[in-house]
Amino acid sequence: MDFELDDEQVELQRVVRDIATRECPPALVRAVVAGDDDAAGLWKTLVELDWPALTVPADDGGMGMSAVELVIALEELGRVADPTPFLATTSQYVPLVRACAPAGARRELLGAVCSGGTGTAAFAADAVRARRDGDGWVLAGVARHVVDGDRADELAVVASTGDGEGVFVVPAAAVEATRTPTFDAAFHLADLTLDEVRVGDERAFARPAVAAEVGRARDEAVAGLAAEMVGASQRILELVLEHVKERKQFGVPIGSFQAVKHMAVDMYVAIERARALCHFAGLAIAEDDTRRGLAASMAKAAAGDCQRLVTRHGVQLFGGLGFTWENDLQIYVRRAKVGEPLLGTSSEHRARAARRVLAGRRPTEAV
Amino acid sequence: MRLRFDEQTEAFRHEFAVWLDAHAPDDATALSERPRSTAHVPDWARDWQRSLFDAGWLVPGNPPEHGGRNASLLEVFVHQEELSRRHIYPSYNPQGLTIIAPSLLAFGTEEQKRRWAVPILRAEITAALGMSEPDAGSDLAGLRTRAVLDGDRFVVNGQKVWTSGAHDADIILAFVRTDPDAPKHKGLSCLVIPTDSPGLTRRPFGSIVGPDDLDFNEVFFDDVAVPAGNLIGELHQGWQVATGSLGHERAMLWLGFASRLDDLVRHGGDEIVARGLADDPLVLDWFGNLVVDAHALRLLGYRTLAKARRGVEATEQSILKLFGSEAAQAATLAMLETLGADGLDPDRRSAPLDPLHEEGFTASWWERYLRSFAGTIAGGTSQIQRNIIAERVLGLPR
């Protein structure tokens, strides 16, 4: 396997990092948390750069890039604790619409993203039912913990149709959304109540093959969220390294102590492990490899392991200084951890990865 | 970034695979006599190594006269990958093939290459590596075995330990102190010492696996005379040879760990399924973690390889040994404990005997767990690796 970013991908990584670092400093995240900024300015900048349309097909007006470029960009935005609806729009809404909508609807819905529209996905087949009603569908149920569910323009709801799954794109106004509190106030989560919401056929994608397409989109969402967690973890390591090189005790930098070094190395290894699996997931999705689902689960499991160790060691290595609101560490600790329970916890994804591998090893009579 | 290598590399892999299918030893041959140490090479294994050498498949990156075909880095890699995937060892004297012969080829004279490197590669002689001493383990440069140049010979006195296979080896590539007054890295030299030299005593000792598991040796040098022509590299320049040797060792290590993790997935998976534990949440948790580790290690290795190919030093290479050895150890322990009381039986195999594979990798889970410490201790302990990574990769102060 040729597992190195190519020159264009390295350049994309550099550009996104530079711009994200400049446009989304800790002060902006703090202002958003304090309610003094709604991140609209940052979103406008991202739209001007065409980044929300990163994986929108070129024919639909987007940049036509793959899931590899998407995880690269999302890692950099996680690194700055991006407070915009970028994650949900690019890794949840766009993949679902791209995979499931027929050409006409796709062009219309993704065209809106190219001009600044936002979206998200509710993977809620277990909680939302869609029933056929005349020449359309009616949705009922409650989808919980939907990323940006309270502020996205369009909600792509994965609902059960009775004989399978369907994707129904619902405008925000048709749904009652309640933002749910999280410890990362710059990250939006909402519960969506769909009370007999009517969806016309032009926004309902429920042909039999759609379940497989939903799986594909879900893998991309999982990998995207994992990449964001890795990015936030990376920022924590950078802050910790800076701190332990400068902070002196007993006349020497604390980074010269082996106890400190070994914790820092474990943080680094956890990040490298998770990042490699995020890139692999992006690649498996981009090439529609048979290991796509396994790869996405491994990425999320590893990102979960990564955030757990990196946030714990990160706060510990900062000592008292990391135990303050004033220190920027807390911003990225929150972002690294907020993704853990979403779209499957790391232990759920570990079990999923284990089952996929064990399934191939079951004695034939048990299959 | 792509999931496959380029066509030329895959064609190279295919050519080797076809050759292996036709030439690899069959099971009966491999079972006729088992290697008892890492320098004991049964006749069938010598024949096998020589056929690889003659066909240019032993060390494909070497020129034909040294058992290769001037292959590219990626070709060398897929050759290793193919052997590793099939559990075939190109040599049953691994330190001879991967450390000692390359060191002799890199630092030796033409005469020394002809006399020792080629015979090692052709499995005519076997070799052991004399580095560690009772008081020089992680601090290798602190070694104290003395060699005094006396006319046309060195006189060697001192002791080595952990010298794998020394009791079965024909020669030892030994690191000795030739200048006791120089700073410790600058007073070392490297000698080829025949094991039948008068005054050289080898004492194999059992490992933690058992008293009969005899690979490690203590080697005592009591006024051992070594011809001056056996000096490898320049006098007092042994540290360069030593770090070159360890470099060879490190460069090949990650694929070994990747293969070991794959084996753990395969053997552990079979065990889990056979015991009806495939739905046990605790088992799924550790086994899933192993699956993640096995993939991550290989991906990080591939990335290192891609960088090496462009001549870029991959800083992450240093984490492969640390990560791979610790992951293998954790998974082996988890499997051992998953077995419950069945794990107590030291004779209960963890996998069917694989004739060309080292038996340690299909031995009991208990033995495999014990052997996993070779990964976290030998070749630089995990603690030393963390120090190195902290300083060289993360830039933390010494």
| Percent residues over pLDDT 90 in chain B | 83
User: Is the minimum CB–CB distance between A364 and chain B shorter than 8 Å?
Assistant: no
CA distance B95 to B38: 8
Averaged pLDDT of chain A? 96
Query: How many pairs of residues across A and B have Cβ atoms under 8 Å apart?
Result: 158
pLDDT at residue A288 greater than cutoff 60: yes
Q: B37: part of which helix (H) or strand (E)? A: none
CA distance B351 to B270: 9
CA distance B55 to B47: 12
Residues 6+ apart with CB under 8 A from A366: B273
Count H helices and E strands in chain A, helices first.
Answer: 12, 10
Q: B27: part of which helix (H) or strand (E)? A: helix B27-32
Interaxial angle between packed helices A292-318 and B281-309, expressed in degrees from 0 to 180 and rounded to the nearest 10: 90
Nearest-neighbour CA in chain A from B16: distance (Å): 18
CA distance A165 to A216: 13
Nearest-neighbour CA in chain B from A256: distance (Å): 5
pLDDT band at B380 (very low <50, low <70, confident <90, very high): confident
User: Is the minimum CB–CB distance between A257 and chain B shorter than 8 Å?
Assistant: no
Active-site residue (options: B249, B271, B359, B367): B249
CA distance A93 to A169: 9
Interaxial angle between packed helices B281-309 and B73-85, expressed in degrees from 0 to 180 and rounded to the nearest 10: 150
Q: Which residue from B1, B269, B289 is facing A283, i.e. has the nearest CB?
A: B1
Averaged pLDDT of chain B? 93
Among A45-59, B77-91, B244-258, the range of highest mean pLDDT? A45-59
List, for residues B36-80, the tens digit of each pLDDT value.
Answer: 999 999 999 999 999 999 999 999 999 999 999 999 988 999 999
| B81 given a catalytic annotation | no
A contact test, residue of B261, B267, B291, B305 with most A CBs within 10 A:
B291
Best CATH choice for the domain A211-366 from the list 3.10.690.10, 1.20.1250.20, 1.20.140.10, 3.40.50.360: 1.20.140.10
Check: CB of residue A160 under 8 Å from CB of residue A140: no
Rg (alpha carbons) of chain A, rounded to whole number: 21
Residues 6+ apart with CB under 8 A from B281: A351
Q: Find the residue in A nearest to B267 (Cα).
A: A361
**Residue with the larger pLDDT of the pair B1 and A52:** A52
CA distance B322 to B9: 29
What amino acid occupies position A230? Answer: V
CA distance B205 to B218: 7
Q: What local confidence, expressed as pLDDT, does residue B289 receive? A: 98
Contact list in B for residue A275 (CB cut-off 8 A) is none
Q: What local confidence, expressed as pLDDT, does residue A234 receive? A: 98
Contact list in A for residue B393 (CB cut-off 8 A) is 268
pLDDT at residue B93 greater than cutoff 50: yes
A contact test, residue of B292, B302, B303 with most A CBs within 10 A:
B292
CA distance B228 to B212: 37
Check: CB of residue A264 under 8 Å from CB of residue A244: yes
User: Is the minimum CB–CB distance between A272 and chain B shorter than 8 Å?
Assistant: yes
List, for residues A203-259, the tens digit of each pLDDT value.
Answer: 999 988 899 999 999 999 999 999 999 999 999 999 999 999 999 999 999 999 999
User: Is the minimum CB–CB distance between A276 and chain B shorter than 8 Å?
Assistant: yes
Q: What local confidence, expressed as pLDDT, does residue B248 receive? A: 53
Sign of CA dihedral A92, A290, A69, A337: positive
Contact list in B for residue A244 (CB cut-off 8 A) is 396
**Lowest-pLDDT range of A86-95, A142-151, B28-37:** B28-37
Contact list in A for residue B396 (CB cut-off 8 A) is 241, 244-245, 253, 255-256, 260-261, 264
- Total Cβ atoms within 10 A of residue A257: 17
- Total Cβ atoms within 10 A of residue B181: 6
B contact test, residue of A8, A298, A356 with most B CBs within 10 A:
A298
Q: Which residue from A269, A277, A361 is facing B322, i.e. has the nearest CB?
A: A269
Of A14, A49, A355, give the one whose Cα is nearest residue B272. A355
Hey, what domains does chain B have and what are their CATH numbers? Answer: 7-121 (1.10.540.10), 127-236 (2.40.110.10), 241-392 (1.20.140.10)
Per-residue tokens: B197: 């030299």
Q: Which residues pair with A197 in a beta bridge?
A: A139
Q: Which residue from B287, B291, B322 is facing A298, i.e. has the nearest CB?
A: B291
Q: Judge if ipTM > 0.85.
A: yes
pLDDT band at B252 (very low <50, low <70, confident <90, very high): low
Q: Dump strand ranges (E) for chain B.
A: 127-130, 146-150, 153-161, 171-177, 188-194, 200-207, 210-227, 231-232
pLDDT at residue B2 greater than cutoff 90: no
Residue B250's φ and ψ, nearest 5 degrees, are -65, -40
Residue B41's φ and ψ, nearest 5 degrees, are -120, 110
Nearest-neighbour CA in chain B from A133: distance (Å): 40
- Range 207-246 of A in CB contact (< 8 A) with B: 241, 244-245
Q: What local confidence, expressed as pLDDT, does residue B357 receive? A: 84
Local structure of residue B346 (DSSP, 8 states): T
Reduced to 3 states (helix: H, G, I; strand: E, B; else coil), residue B43 is helix
Contact list in A for residue B3 (CB cut-off 8 A) is 1, 283-284, 287, 289
pLDDT at residue B377 greater than cutoff 80: yes
**Residue ranges covered by each domain of chain A:** 211-366
Interaxial angle between packed helices A210-246 and A329-338, expressed in degrees from 0 to 180 and rounded to the nearest 10: 160
CA distance B228 to A78: 62
List, for residues B132-188, the tens digit of each pLDDT value.
Answer: 999 888 788 899 999 999 999 999 999 999 999 999 999 999 999 999 999 988 999
pLDDT at residue A362 greater than cutoff 60: no
Nearest-neighbour CA in chain A from B361: distance (Å): 19
Pairwise CB contact (< 8 Å): A255 & B292 = no
Count the helix, strand and coil residues of chain A and give each as a percent rounded to the nearest 5. Answer: 60, 15, 25
Up-side HSE of residue B329: CA atoms within 13 Å toward CB? 15
Reduced to 3 states (helix: H, G, I; strand: E, B; else coil), residue B159 is strand
CA distance A232 to A271: 10
Count the helix, strand and coil residues of chain B and give each as a percent rounded to the nearest 5. Answer: 55, 15, 30
Q: What local confidence, expressed as pLDDT, does residue A367 receive? A: 28
Q: Which burial class, exposed, middle or buried, applies to B197 when counting CB atoms under 10 A from its CB (0-12, 13-18, 19+)?
A: middle
pTM summary value: 0.95
What amino acid occupies position B101? Answer: A
Pairwise CB contact (< 8 Å): B396 & A244 = yes
User: Is the minimum CB–CB distance between A135 and chain B shorter than 8 Å?
Assistant: no
Pairwise CB contact (< 8 Å): B386 & A262 = yes
pLDDT at residue A364 greater than cutoff 50: no
B contact test, residue of A265, A267, A279, A291 with most B CBs within 10 A:
A265
Check: CB of residue B239 under 8 Å from CB of residue B186: yes
CA distance B398 to B389: 11
Q: Which residue from A264, A287, A305 is facing B3, i.e. has the nearest CB?
A: A287
pLDDT band at A366 (very low <50, low <70, confident <90, very high): very low
Of A54, A73, A70, A74, give the one whose Cα is nearest residue A62. A54
Pairwise CB contact (< 8 Å): B319 & A289 = no
Nearest-neighbour CA in chain A from B273: distance (Å): 6
pLDDT at residue A363 greater than cutoff 60: no
Contact list in A for residue B265 (CB cut-off 8 A) is 357
CA distance A266 to A277: 17
Contact list in B for residue A309 (CB cut-off 8 A) is none
Pairwise CB contact (< 8 Å): A9 & B265 = no
Pairwise CB contact (< 8 Å): B292 & A264 = no
Contact list in A for residue B395 (CB cut-off 8 A) is 241, 245
Per-residue tokens: A75: 């890692």
DSSP line for B286-318: HHHHHHHHHHHHHHHHHHHHHHHHTT---TTHH
Reduced to 3 states (helix: H, G, I; strand: E, B; else coil), residue A116 is coil
pLDDT band at A43 (very low <50, low <70, confident <90, very high): very high
Contact list in B for residue A245 (CB cut-off 8 A) is 395-397
pLDDT at residue B345 greater than cutoff 80: yes
CA distance B276 to B272: 6
Contact list in B for residue A305 (CB cut-off 8 A) is 289, 292
Residues 6+ apart with CB under 8 A from A365: none
Residues 6+ apart with CB under 8 A from A35: none
Of B100, B95, B136, give the one whose Cα is nearest residue B117. B100
Nearest-neighbour CA in chain A from B387: distance (Å): 7
Q: What local confidence, expressed as pLDDT, does residue A200 receive? A: 96
